[in-house]
């Protein structure tokens, strides 16, 4: 009889889930709504119930399920305890223990960005690579370090928190984390919009460069990348700066952890080669000579990276 | 019968060696001169001969020797091949194969700074810690990442090459590696002297601050730290800048690899608390909140860290 496992990716809106066999083939994927009522207290019970339903549908006996691997949007320490998960309303939650008790299955927990990185290293763009760093460019900048098929969580669960690498000592605005000058302030979707607005409001530039973005109201990162592709100078300057910050940060990662490959994912990866080429240009410029051959790819699993990573947490 | 192993640390002047039992207790340590003639071609044979002598002296049978663990001052890739080792005159040398062939023993090779880090994690200041970063402040700035008792070599052997983290985009002078603005240019012994000389020659400062270092000729990092302790303003400013660069770099390492502890070693660690306190001040200032509790210690094994790390490479 085949063995199975479940990969779960908890987000602030929905929980994505997948049923996998022990070789990592996806049998079925589905999602349920994330119930944020009462500090998200029913989230884990909802997951257990949904898994039980699927188990019945496919008539899988409990002893043939290897476990549940789960990604959570918060810092996870070695013991599988989540310390404050703002998006879900959680304070300190022992995810492993609670979900094991409800489901009767083995549970392994990881940070969502790290679990997505594990998914890409398991079945995505970085399949077969021993050392991988994934950079997720979304509302924030997340990341994950994979080494020999395992996540490096870090001693305080901050392994791969690359959005908070300090990139500028002269930044005056504050990052969500409380510091000033974090990579996330320049290279997230929010950061790109922030910088574009700063450049648009810069009086010393306004006379010099007309811009299609001026007076548009609420800009999005997508609009900025599209304008850059069409030659808008302010948008191009924003993209250049974003790519420079990412390229420099990745050069630093390269002479610390020295991965073989960088995987770039998240919504902003949709910008495509205009972003990737800029990142690579600045990476090559500041990378330590031994690391200049580091590879760069876009993520390939999209929203499924998390459930694949969850499965890998169990398959090992 | 006890099993034994040898830890070896190849330097540009001498090769340090130690005989260990399988629990990592040091039985005897000694050193031989590094023979740099003819591109260092006899170094590995000299090591094998010295080990054979020690084996005979203690009457240890070949089957009771687990192997030789060896640190080499150059980048090592996964296969144990050294790619260019300038200090020894080596080009590409397959250390594992050559030394195994001569000695008839199992050989494991690592980068010297990483092997020293492994030694500190095995039997030194970071004993018992799962994730460790050692920062070695000598003529250059070296480093090593240890995770679960193993060195993270990195895909191109550049794991822990933290001396080449880019810390300044405005640096005009070149680092030995060819880049500009590397940590090593500010935080190595050479870098400290360079920066002190720049500050001493800065006309805008000379009228403001008298300095005991002025007109001294060839300064050393030790003289600069001593002057700082005695209140010399130029020296204090140099130390402040060194500590700031190190503290900021370590904050970056903390939100990438997130070690539990930083071990500070190398000759410049002798400067003591004046340096460590400055590093910590700037670390706390720019560290990601989850990592602010990272511990800092000085290395405790001194010149023996390399041989302990070599032994650990074999003991596993």
Of all residues in chain B, the percent with pLDDT exceeding 90 is 87
Q: How far is B84 from chain A (nearest CA, A)?
A: 11
Tell me the residues of chain A between 235 and 264 that have a Cβ less than 8 Å away from chain B: 248, 251-261
Helix (H, G, I), strand (E, B) or coil at B224: helix
Q: How far apart are the first and last CA of chain A?
A: 19
B128 touching chain A per CB within 8 A: no
Q: Which two tokens stand for residue A59?
A: 């008539």
DSSP string, A211-272: -TTTT-SS--HHHHHHHHHTT-HHHHHHHHHHHHHHHHHHHHHHTTT--SEEEEESGGGGGT
* Domain residue spans of chain A: 4-111, 125-300
Evaluate whether ipTM surpasses 0.90: yes
**Pairs across A and B, CB distance < 8 A:** 137
Rounded-to-integer distance, Cα B234 and Cα A129, Å: 49
Q: Decide if domain A125-300 falls under CATH 3.90.79.10.
A: no
**CB within 8 Å of B189: residues ≥ 6 apart:** B137, B138, B139, B220, B221, B267, B268
**CB within 8 Å of B164: residues ≥ 6 apart:** A255, A288, B175, B177, B179, B182, B183, B184
Q: How far is B146 from chain A (nearest CA, A)?
A: 11
Name which residue leads in pLDDT, B202 or B285.
B285
pLDDT digits (tens, 9 = 90+) for A238-288: 999 999 999 999 999 999 999 999 999 999 999 999 999 999 999 999 999
Contact A277, A244 (CB under 8 A): no
Rounded-to-integer distance, Cα B110 and Cα B315, Å: 14
**Helix, strand, coil fractions of chain A, as percent rounded to 5:** 45, 25, 35
Helices (H), chain B: 37-40, 43-57, 95-103, 112-123, 184-187, 189-200, 203-206, 221-229, 233-254, 273-286, 305-315
Closest chain A residue to the Cα of B284, Cα to Cα: A179
Candidates B256, B257, B284, partner chain A, best to mutate (most A CBs within 10 A): B256
Q: Residue B207: pLDDT above 70?
A: no
Chain B neighbors of A179, CB-CB under 8 A: 286, 288-289
- Domain A4-111 and domain A125-300, same fold? Reply is yes
Helix (H, G, I), strand (E, B) or coil at B48: helix
Q: Which long-range contacts (CB under 8 A, 24 or more apart) does A168-171 make?
A: A169/B248
Q: Decide if domain B131-300 falls under CATH 1.10.10.10.
A: no
What pLDDT sits at residue B77? 78
Candidates B83, B111, B255, B293, partner chain A, best to mutate (most A CBs within 10 A): B255
pLDDT digits (tens, 9 = 90+) for B217-254: 899 999 999 999 999 999 999 999 999 999 999 999 99
Rounded-to-integer distance, Cα B184 and Cα B166, Å: 9
The residue to which tokens 């001052």 are assigned: B73
Q: Residue B206: pLDDT above 70?
A: no
| Burial (CB count <10 Å: 0-12, 13-18, 19+), residue A95 | buried
Buried b / exposed e over B279-291, threshold 16 CB at 10 Å, is bbebbeebbbebb
pLDDT digits (tens, 9 = 90+) for B13-56: 999 999 999 999 999 999 999 999 999 999 999 999 999 999 99
Of all residues in chain A, the percent with pLDDT exceeding 70 is 99
Q: Residue B113: pLDDT above 70?
A: yes
Chain B neighbors of A77, CB-CB under 8 A: none
- In this complex, do A257 and B157 lie within 8 Å of one another by their Cβ atoms? no
Contact A115, A306 (CB under 8 A): yes
What pLDDT sits at residue B205? 74
What is the average per-residue pLDDT within A45-70? 96
**CB within 8 Å of B90: residues ≥ 6 apart:** B39, B40, B74, B82, B84
What pLDDT sits at residue B55? 95
What is the average per-residue pLDDT within B152-169? 94
Buried b / exposed e over B34-43, threshold 16 CB at 10 Å, is beeeeebeeb
Q: Residue B78: pLDDT above 90?
A: no
Q: How far is B277 from chain A (nearest CA, A)?
A: 20
Q: Which of left, alpha, beta for A100 (phi over 0: left; psi -120 to 50: alpha)?
A: alpha
Q: Which two tokens stand for residue A138?
A: 């979304």
The residue to which tokens 């330097």 are assigned: B11
Rounded-to-integer distance, Cα B228 and Cα B251, Å: 24
Count the residues in chain B: 316
> Half-sphere exposure of B71 toward its Cβ, with a 13 Å CA cutoff?
33
Contact A127, A121 (CB under 8 A): yes
What pLDDT sits at residue B63? 95
State the CATH class of domain A4-111.
alpha beta
What is the average per-residue pLDDT within A97-105? 96
**Number of neighbours of residue A12 by Cβ within 10 angstroms:** 14
**CB within 8 Å of A112: residues ≥ 6 apart:** A9, A10, A11, A71, A72, A73, A142, A306
**CB within 8 Å of A290: residues ≥ 6 apart:** A258, B75, B156, B157, B158, B161
Q: Residue A316: pLDDT above 70?
A: yes
| Burial (CB count <10 Å: 0-12, 13-18, 19+), residue B108 | buried
A160 touching chain B per CB within 8 A: yes
pLDDT digits (tens, 9 = 90+) for A162-215: 999 999 999 999 998 999 999 999 999 999 999 999 999 887 776 677 888 987
Mean pLDDT, chain B, whole residue set: 94
- List, in sequence order, every residue forming a beta bridge with A18; answer none if it has no partner: A7, A29
**CB within 8 Å of B241: residues ≥ 6 apart:** B186, B195
Contact B310, B71 (CB under 8 A): yes
The residue to which tokens 């083995």 are assigned: A106
Chain B neighbors of A283, CB-CB under 8 A: none
Give the homologous superfamily in CATH for domain B4-123+303-315.
ATPase, nucleotide binding domain (3.30.420.40)
Q: Residue B160: pLDDT above 80?
A: yes
Q: Which two tokens stand for residue B96?
A: 């594992």
């Amino acid at each position: 009889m085949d063995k199975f496992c479940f990969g779960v990716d908890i987000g602030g809106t929905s929980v994505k889930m997948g049923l996998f066999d022990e070789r990592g083939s996806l049998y079925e994927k589905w999602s349920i709504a994330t119930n944020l009522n009462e500090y998200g207290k029913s989230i884990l019970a909802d997951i257990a119930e949904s898994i039980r339903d699927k188990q019945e549908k496919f008539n899988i006996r409990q002893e043939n399920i290897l476990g549940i691997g789960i990604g959570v949007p918060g810092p996870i320490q070695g013991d599988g305890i989540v310390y404050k998960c703002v998006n879900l309303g959680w304070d300190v939650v022992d995810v492993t223990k609670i979900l094991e008790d409800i489901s009767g299955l083995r549970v392994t927990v990881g940070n969502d960005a790290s679990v997505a990185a594990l998914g890409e290293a398991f079945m995505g763009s970085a399949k077969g690579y021993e050392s991988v760093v994934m950079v997720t460019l979304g509302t924030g900048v997340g990341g994950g370090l994979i080494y020999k098929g395992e996540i490096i969580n870090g001693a305080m669960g901050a392994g791969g928190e690359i959005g908070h690498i300090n990139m500028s000592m002269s930044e005056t605005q504050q990052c969500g984390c409380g510091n000033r000058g974090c990579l996330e302030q320049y290279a997230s979707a929010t950061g790109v919009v922030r910088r574009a607005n700063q450049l648009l409001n810069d009086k010393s530039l306004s006379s010099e460069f007309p811009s299609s973005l001026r007076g548009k109201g609420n800009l999005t990162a997508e609009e900025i990348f599209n304008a850059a592709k069409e030659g808008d100078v302010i948008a191009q300057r924003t993209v250049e700066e974003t790519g420079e910050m990412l390229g420099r940060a990745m050069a630093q990662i390269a002479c610390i952890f020295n991965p073989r490959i960088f995987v770039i994912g998240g919504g902003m990866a949709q910008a495509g080669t205009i972003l990737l080429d800029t990142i690579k240009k600045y990476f090559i410029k500041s990378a330590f000579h031994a690391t200049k051959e580091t590879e760069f790819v876009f993520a390939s699993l999209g929203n499924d990276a998390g459930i694949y990573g969850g499965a890998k947490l169990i398959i090992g």
